Amino acid sequence: MRVLITNDDGIQSAGLVVLAEVALAAGCEVIVAAPHRQYSGASASLTAQEVDGRLALVDERPPGLPDGVASYGVKAAPALIAFVAAYGAFGPRPDLVLSGVNLGANTGRATLHSGTVGAALSAATQGIPALAVSIASAEPQHWSTARLVTEHAFAWLREQPDDEERVLNINVPDIPADQLRGLRPAHLASFGAVQARVREKGKDYVMLTYSGVTAREERGSDHDLLTRGWATATLLTAPYDDPGDTELPQFEGSGDATVAVDVSAGTVMSSGDDKPSGEITDEQPADEGEPVG
């Protein structure tokens, strides 16, 4: 089983090694491909920096990554890394994607903005089961706790049907393993982790101030359980249409039913100099296994 490890904290994050070691211990083939720098808050963005039309790579490894594990620093958002991995950018298509271990929790509606979760959701849209793992500290002291919880979550993921387009989102409190109350299923808290307000506006700028949110008590939510010493497990789904019983707007026009419309998909990523790149064309994709650029 081939496993891609990525994150949004960058190629130098120790969290990558935690996930790699869990996958290696399970007998998996592991490859690490993570952003060359911090990409927190990137969500599922498909952005990258290109050099002469090629996705740029840097020769870097996370400190402590076991010898023999291939590693790439990629000048791209984590969701794009997972996306292109599905098409053979870093060798054969991975069977699973592990994202994290993120520095800081990804709970509640904040998961919408998470690059860690975004990479996992990007993999899921390509039919690759994925796991996102976060530890509730910007400077974690208890990586062994994150590893323990990840081992259980990874074992569960490997037992699930391959056609599931869902992401398992794991949050771990930064406490010693002997103080951990366990791992529990949880629903997303109804609030995000951060608020913003406009601090100052000028002619050519807007200055924002960000602050943490005082959480409402929501028993059984991921945030609530995390603050009480539990690791949490939440299933997230990739985007899908869900009208339910809602009556959506519609009307009948006078157009000819045989009309043909050329639909453009636009571009899928932009380079660091703000020029569009990655334009979608009618060209056939390269065979899987052929490296990008």
CA 165 to chain centre: 14
Residue closest to 33 by CA, chosen among 67, 64, 10, 2: 10
CATH code for the domain in which residue 232 is found: 3.40.1210.10
Looking at the domain assignment, is residue 164 inside a domain? yes
Task: Give yes or no for residue 277 having a pLDDT over 90.
Answer: no
> What per-residue confidence (pLDDT) applies to 266?
59
Looking at the domain assignment, is residue 137 inside a domain? yes
Element (H, E) at 197: strand 194-201
With contact defined as beta carbons under 8 Å apart, do 194 and 110 qualify?
Answer: yes
> What per-residue confidence (pLDDT) applies to 218?
81
Looking at the domain assignment, is residue 197 inside a domain? no
Which tens digit of pLDDT belongs to each residue from 171-209?
999 999 999 999 999 999 887 555 567 777 877 878 877
Peptide bond before residue 101 is cis, with ω within 30 degrees of 0: yes
Looking at the domain assignment, is residue 229 inside a domain? yes
pLDDT band per the 50, 70, 90 thresholds, residue 264: low
> What per-residue confidence (pLDDT) applies to 210?
62
pLDDT band per the 50, 70, 90 thresholds, residue 267: low
Looking at the domain assignment, is residue 207 inside a domain? no
The number of domains in the chain is 1
> What per-residue confidence (pLDDT) applies to 152?
97
Looking at the domain assignment, is residue 256 inside a domain? yes
Which tens digit of pLDDT belongs to each residue from 217-256?
788 899 999 999 999 999 998 877 776 788 878 888 887 7
> What per-residue confidence (pLDDT) applies to 194?
57
Looking at the domain assignment, is residue 288 inside a domain? no
pTM for the full predicted model? 0.83
Looking at the domain assignment, is residue 198 inside a domain? no
Domain that holds residue 125: 2-191+218-279
For the chain, how big is the Rg over CA atoms in Å? 20
With contact defined as beta carbons under 8 Å apart, do 39 and 115 qualify?
Answer: yes
> What per-residue confidence (pLDDT) applies to 286?
46
Amino acid at 44: A
Mean pLDDT across 119-123: 95
Mean pLDDT across 125-153: 96
Which tens digit of pLDDT belongs to each residue from 23-64?
999 999 999 999 998 877 777 777 767 767 778 888 889 999
Amino acid at 60: E
